Amino acid sequence: MKIIGPFSQIITMQNLPIKGALQDEQLEIITDGALLIGEGKILANGNLNELQSQYPQAFTELIEEPMVLLPGFIDSHTHICFGGSRSLDYAMRNAGKTYLEIAKAGGGIWSSVQTTRAATEGELLLGIMSRIDRHVKEGVTTIEIKSGYGLSMESELKMLRTIQLAQEHTPATLIPTCLAAHIKPKDFEGDEQQYLNWILLELLPRLQEEKLTSRVDIFIEETAFSKTLSVPFLLAAAAMGFQITVHADQFTAGSSLVAVECNAASADHLEASGETEIAALAASETVATVLPGASLGLGMHFAPARKLLDAGCCVAIASDWNPGSAPQGDLLMQAAMLGAFEKLSAAEVFAGLTFRAAQSLRLEHTGKIVAGFAADLQAYPTKDYRDILYQQGKLKPTKVWVGGEAV
């Protein structure tokens, strides 16, 4: 057991509703507080002196400067396992080229598939570890990571095995997701329906056998898979025991309704969601995950986070960190930008990065500073939590703990 403290403020994220709008006044703030930690979990919080006298055997990790403590962030949507770069796509897009022109010039998702297929497991591991390490240093202690640049048995297995291997090299919690339904690969002999059947009949049983993932994602969009094909695919994956999630409403509206209909854990993107989609999400258990990093990367408007919250949705904020549309990967900076443009309270932004993101992954004991929860924590060198978003992502945590251990 150990005691960490004192902190100027501990923002516990406790006693907040899982859905809907939040005001900063609702935040529970413990001033000059400390935590008792044991076996990777938070055991108690309170005043430093009181904890020390109650638990005289516990070692104290003294915090010697004013700091604000938050739960570690949860990035519930990333594609950080990939080979190559798409800087040429980025330059072409900013030179006014269309999606189709970029694809014809050899860019787009298919180019990441080719470079990822060509990469060795060792090369993939180096890339993924550099991104994981940066995320952990910036306070992100749980990271979802998708496959989806393999799109063949061999290469999807390679990606998911690399993610599994990465878990041995980081204290952060990694959540792997199969996104073989990203696009139909150009070299698959058959149509979209046959490709989705191949995933269900061949790939997913193999992933279960090797215990590589328990989550399945699909990109529903005019350039990827149709709503009609996606419903039976998602229901079949769910029936196999997979947690399901959807890339929804990124460019055209309607696919979040599929996510709701199939009771997906989350519907992610939502830049194009309209009133119907927002109302359906609000009435469901499906978390509405917004991805400001993709809007910044593509130079397009943000998802309607304000409307989603006001309608009563559970809104999570994730990075979508990927080589094509969201290469930057700074989750806090992206969330701060989203907050400024969408007029979100700090409570709403922090909820979206912590316990509401945990809900999108159906993780139960992470994302709050509460007894029994994982001691995944991050501390910022300031006395006032409002400085964190005020500095728009430039103020970084200077201390991060995963399972109570400093990293």
Q: Applying CB under 5 A, which residues contact Zn ion?
A: 320
Measured from each CB, the residue nearest to Zn ion is: 320
3-state helix, strand, coil in the chain (%, to 5): 40, 20, 40
Task: Give least dist CB 215 to Zn ion, A.
Answer: 13
Task: Give least dist CB 268 to Zn ion, A.
Answer: 6
Closer to Zn ion at the Cβ: 69 or 199? 199
Task: Give least dist CB 326 to Zn ion, A.
Answer: 8
Q: Residue 109 phi/psi, 5° resolution? A: -55, -40
Calpha distance 278→270 (Å, rounded)? 9
Look-up of token digits 């189709």:
100
Look-up of token digits 């408007």:
301
Give the DSSP letter of residue 374. B
Closer to Zn ion at the Cβ: 221 or 320? 320
User: H-helix or E-strand containing 157?
Assistant: helix 153-167
Closer to Zn ion at the Cβ: 356 or 368? 356
Task: Give least dist CB 381 to Zn ion, A.
Answer: 32
C-alpha distances (whole Å) from 307 to each of 122, 271, 334 are: 44, 12, 18
C-alpha distances (whole Å) from 356 to each of 17, 51, 112, 242, 265 are: 9, 30, 30, 20, 11
Closer to Zn ion at the Cβ: 148 or 304? 148
Closer to Zn ion at the Cβ: 357 or 402? 357
Task: Give least dist CB 261 to Zn ion, A.
Answer: 21
Task: Give least dist CB 247 to Zn ion, A.
Answer: 5
Closer to Zn ion at the Cβ: 27 or 303? 303
Strands (E), 182-326: 215-219, 243-248, 266-269, 287-290, 315-317
